[in-house]
Amino acid sequence: MRLIISPDYDQCSQWAADYVAYKIKAARPTESKPFVMAVPAGSSPLGMFERLINMFRKGKLSFQNVVIFNMDEYVGLSPEDEHSYHYFLWKNFFDHIDIKKKNVHLLNGQTTDFAKECTAYEKLIRSYGGIDLLIGGIGGDGHIAFNEPGSSLASRTRVKALNKNTIKANARFFGNDINAVPKNVLTIGIATIMDAKEVMIIASGDRKANALQHAVEGGINHMCPISILQMHPHALIVCDDEATSELKAETVRLFKDNEEVKMPQRKK
């Protein structure tokens, strides 16, 4: 695992955006061999989206041959509903870049056949040869996408009910009205995430400190789903100083040292 520690959210977002741009360019994607990404909704990726949009506007990056999947969606919300992740991702990212509509694949929260929707989603991911770079945020309890504590570490895309903590945490997007938050969601599973060739997590602020501490220093456990990344061959967590506040000073030093050693090699 790589832990990239930046002083603040802005620098975290810059690192994440630069990395995405580097990966897309390095892949030299074509129409028949696109670069496949998964992106989260939520506040964590917003700074990265903004920077990727700027790179596109300046002509430095194109998404013409990029395919994007999303991680999760609320059940029952239409794509036009401003609380849906569908709406959120188009408004904050896709509407501002040159991605082709046919290359955007989002879970349909309005489906009435959950099993069919989820199986088809997994199949579609496989049809592209899997996800090259999966980008995620984390919940304060270590959830990833909507895989909350207690989720099977072998789970796949499925429908599930949200726990009270997540409903409370996400009420901020629903005018702080807990009753307005949908109780059921569609989410890719932990096994779906682990299948991605590379996973990059963005974690910012002290709200994420406990989850990050468990993910990095704790054992792998379904009560902190993000901890499964210890088993991923290419996982990186981009975080800021505040998010590392529960880590041991020794852990922080180790990962900072690792990056210092890597830096000159990457510049070659």
Site residues, ligand GLP (CB under 6 A)? 40-44, 71-72, 136-139, 145-146, 166, 170
Distances (CA, A) of 74 to 85, 110, 146, 152, 255: 7, 9, 10, 20, 36
- Is 143 an active-site residue? yes
Other C-beta atoms within 10 Å of 251: how many? 15
Closest contact distance (angstroms) between CB of 23 and ligand GLP is 20
Q: DSSP secondary-structure letter at 192?
A: H
Looking at the Cβ atoms of 65 and 188, the one nearer to ligand GLP is 188
Looking at the Cβ atoms of 44 and 65, the one nearer to ligand GLP is 44
Looking at the Cβ atoms of 44 and 155, the one nearer to ligand GLP is 44
Which residue of the set 73, 117, 141, 240 is catalytic?
Answer: 141
- Is 141 an active-site residue? yes
Looking at the Cβ atoms of 148 and 195, the one nearer to ligand GLP is 148
Give residue for tokens 């239409």: 78
**Own/partner pairs, 96-102, CB within 8 angstroms, 24+ separation:** 96/53, 96/56, 96/57, 97/52, 97/53, 97/56, 97/63, 98/56, 98/62, 98/63, 98/64, 99/63, 99/64, 99/66, 99/68, 100/64
Which residue of the set 73, 117, 132, 148 is catalytic?
Answer: 148
Which residue of the set 86, 117, 143, 195 is catalytic?
Answer: 143
Closest contact distance (angstroms) between CB of 268 and ligand GLP is 34
Q: Which two tokens stand for residue 70?
A: 């999303």
The catalytic site residues sit at 72, 141, 143, 148
